[in-house]
Amino acid sequence: MEPLHRRIRSTGMNEASLEFLKKLTDAASPSYHEEDAAAVFHEHCATFADEVRTDLMGNVIAVLNPAAEFRVLLSGHIDEIGLIVSTISEEGQLYFKPIGDWDPAVLVGQRVWIRGQIPGVIARTPVHLLSEDERHKVCELYEMSIDIGVSTRETAEKLVEVGDEAVLHGSLLRLGENTVIARGLDNKSGAYVVAETLRRAKDRLRKDIGLYAVGAVQEEVGYRGAASAGFGIAPQIGIAVDVSHASDYQQAHSGHLARIALGKGPVIARGANVNPVVYRLLRKAAEDADRPFQLEAEGESSYTDAAALQTSGVGVATGLIGVPLRYMHTPCEMLRLDDLEACVDLLVNFCLALDPTIDLTPKRI
């Protein structure tokens, strides 16, 4: 098979950046077990950042110009949804609880990795043995278990213990010219964007602006990493980079969803968690570069790191950028690499155009 970086070279993504994205998505990092993805993020950023550190929450923080008083925080969370072993049956079956928000229908029959080392499969009663009523019901999480190929609790406990985490099995795969699928693109794609923004802004960023790329933890269980990073860094501006639901396929058509499509560029949010001045600056950065972008309205919470950053400390002027994504919270999340690169370009242009004397107080113009 042709190397991955050669097969999608048309996106403008270089070999090292593509390998970084693949390593991020391959790393098993369910919420509060992000160490593997954190190591990937740290290693990559250490090649260009002025400073890289890990805080007590587990956030990886890479910085340009750490002495600058005007600080911009870019957050892309490195955690993903997963499972946690809750009990082990006498037959060696592992029962589990969700880490984050799952559709139970997605899980049946999936292969898993426990602690990134132990393989297993999610089991349920075969269709042949179901009653007529059971055939028409969604299998609930408590009706499933993980089978690791053993027959006794004693044998299972030599390999696994209660509290061990698991993720679905899968690796980055290319579809078409520049479309990829992978587990955990929510939100390894956002982590990729903030790290690459830092790399590409280096040597061009004003020295009186401190730029912080945060690989944030525990977003899927309550934005906890972004909350602590925002408090510790105390930025004037905070931008969360996450994924946005693409609605460009039949099953997602709905009158209340934004008209968001793959291949149409970054999604810039407006609404509850977005400072209007930051929104206008993001939009201007896209328009000045003559690059396409899409809009999304957030009437209440965006349920992203932007919600935590906005209320950190005395308050932060917050923005939110989305990478268009299909099939969120499944093992085959899908995005286009040209959208990913467009998000990086947008953030780089935004950061390079900033003036630390800007008044970020919300105002109508």
User: 3-class SS at 129?
Assistant: helix
First CA to last CA across the chain, in angstroms?
55
Q: Which of 219, 220, 333, 341 is catalytic?
A: 219
Give the CA distances from residue 160 to residues 24, 118, 230, 333, in Å, rounded to whole numbers and listed in that order: 25, 8, 36, 28
What distance in Å separates the CA atoms of residue 306 and residue 312, rounded to the nearest whole number?
10
Q: Kind and range of the H or E element at 174?
A: strand 173-175
- Show the tokens assigned to 102: 């799952």
Strands 70-77 and 209-216, by their bridges, are parallel
- Show the tokens assigned to 110: 């999936």
What distance in Å separates the CA atoms of residue 242 and residue 349, rounded to the nearest whole number?
18
User: 3-class SS at 319?
Assistant: strand
Q: Which residues of 201-228 are buried (b: 16+ CB within 10 A; e: fewer)?
A: beeebbeebbbbbbbbbbbbbebbbbbb
Please, is 38 exposed, middle or buried when counting C-beta atoms within 10 Å of its C-beta (0-12, 13-18, 19+)? buried
Q: Tokens 């925002």 correspond to what residue?
A: 230
Q: Does residue 298 carry a catalytic annotation? A: no
What distance in Å separates the CA atoms of residue 66 and residue 68, rounded to the nearest whole number?
6
Relative orientation angle of helices 15-26 and 185-201, to the nearest 10 degrees: 150
The answer to whether 56 and 69 are in contact (CB under 8 A) is no
Q: Kind and range of the H or E element at 123?
A: strand 118-123
Catalytic annotation, residues: 219
